[in-house]
Amino acid sequence: MKLTSVIRWMLLIGLGVTVVAGGAGIHYWNQRHELVETQLRLRFDEVAPELRLVLGQTQLDGLRRVTLSDVELRDRKTDQP
């Protein structure tokens, strides 16, 4: 086996790993608002188990701000606001 073929395979494997990691990163970056919304709901359920949090839309502005729209707090038993 020649050194050039080994280097070629190393480059191909490295390129494949880079493409897969980049694709996963892009996927999670695009789904980040859903991840934040899920964590908000879980934390809210821990803090106020008798209430239900209803969110219309969640947006991340930059890296630190979260914008929530159409937020409602409802009673879990009666489903009333």
Q: What is the pLDDT of residues 4-43, one digit of tens each?
A: 889 999 999 999 999 999 999 999 888 888 888 899 999 9
pTM above 0.85, yes or no: no
Which residues constitute the domain of residue 16? 1-30
Taking the CA of residue 45 as centre, how many other CA atoms within 13 Å lie in the half-sphere pointing to its CB?
8
Question: pLDDT, tens digit, for every residue of 37-80?
Answer: 899 999 999 999 999 998 888 888 877 888 888 999 998 888 88
Residues 53 and 77 in one domain: yes
* pLDDT reported for residue 63: 73
* Residue in the structure block whose two tokens are 């969110």: 55
Residues 15 and 46 in one domain: no
Residue (of 25, 74, 80, 24) closest to 52 by Cα position: 74
Q: Over 80: is that where the pLDDT of 1 sits?
A: no
Tell me the helix, strand and coil percentages in the chain, rounded to 5: 55, 20, 25
